[in-house]
Amino acid sequence: AQSVTQLGSHVSVSEGALVLLRCNYSSSVPPYLFWYVQYPNQGLQLLLKYTSAATLVKGINGFEAEFKKSETSFHLTKPSAHMSDAAEYFCAVSEGGKIIFGKGTRLHILP
Amino acid sequence: NAGVMQNPRHLVRRRGQEARLRCSPMKGHSHVYWYRQLPEEGLKFMVYLQKENIIDESGMPKERFSAEFPKEGPSILRIQQVVRGDSAAYFCASSPPAVNSGNTIYFGEGSWLTVV
C-alpha cells in the first residue's frame, strides 16, 4: 500500500523566512503526489500536484515542491513566509483511485 | 461553476440518533469520496463511490456507517445510533474518473458532527 509520512506535526517559521514542510512517500510505482492546505474550519484546497511531467512543481500562493525519487521525497517550500500562510498542510498520494493523506503539518508564522 | 456542496455544515445529534450527511459533487464529476477528520489525526479515507456503485469502502467502520450515491441526487453518508466517538468533521470530495491518472479531487467545506 502506498503512504506518505509528514515529518513534524507543527512547524514554526518567522514571517519572511523560508518555509520547508517535509513529506516522504512509499510507493512501488511512480506515484501521483499532492499537497493540500486547510484553513481553520474549511475544506482542503489543492496547492499543487506531481504527475511526472516535471520534478519541480509550482503551485498557488508561491509554493512549490520538488519530487526526488532517490530520496522518495516531495517537500513543500516557499521562499518567504507570510502571515496568511498559517494553516495545516497535507501531503497525499493516489492509490487505487483514491487519495491517501499524511497526518498533516500545522504551520505557525511568527511575527 | 459550483464546487462540492456539503450540508449540513454543522449537525448536533444525541447519542443513539441517526446522522445523515449530504454531498453534491462538482458538475461533471462522477466520483465521490468521504473522509473523516479527527483532531491531530489528519484525514482518514472512508469510502469511494461512483453513481449506484461503491468502489472502495475499506475505510468504513463495519457497523452503523453506510454510504450511497444514487443515480439521482446527492451522495449520503449515514451514521446510525451515533456515539460520542463519531464526533468529527466529515469531508466529501469529488473528481472526474481515474484519480490514478493524476486527476485532482476537490473538497467540500465539510460537515461537523457533534454527538451529545
Residue B102: its pLDDT value, please? Answer: 66
B13 DSSP β-pair partners: B115
Residue B9: its pLDDT value, please? Answer: 95
DSSP state of B25: P
pLDDT < 70: residue spans in chain B: 1, 98-102
Which residues lie below 8 Å from residue B104, measured CB to CB, with a gap of 6+? A34, A46, A49, B95
* Contact with chain A for residue B106, Cβ under 8 A: yes
Cis peptide before B97 (omega within 30 of 0): no
Interface mutation target, options B38, B99, B114, chain A, most CBs of A under 10 Å? B99
Which residues lie below 8 Å from residue B69, measured CB to CB, with a gap of 6+? B32, B49, B50, B51, B52, B53, B75, B76
Q: What is the pLDDT of residues A81-106, one digit of tens each?
A: 999 999 999 999 988 778 899 999 99
The shortest CB-CB distance from A98 to any of B33, B102, B106 is to B33
Question: Which amino acid is residue B27, in one-letter code?
Answer: K
- The answer to whether residues A47 and A59 touch, using CB atoms and an 8 Å cutoff, is yes
Cα B24 versus chain centre, distance: 10
Quote the CA–CA distance of A85 and A8 in Å, as a whole number.
Answer: 17
Q: What is the pLDDT of residues A63-76, one digit of tens each?
A: 999 999 889 999 99
The shortest CB-CB distance from B107 to any of A43, A94, A97 is to A43
Lowest mean pLDDT among A10-24, A30-44, B11-25, B55-69: A30-44
Residue A51: its pLDDT value, please? Answer: 83
Quote the CA–CA distance of A25 and A6 in Å, as a whole number.
Answer: 9
Structural element, H or E, at residue A105: strand A105-110
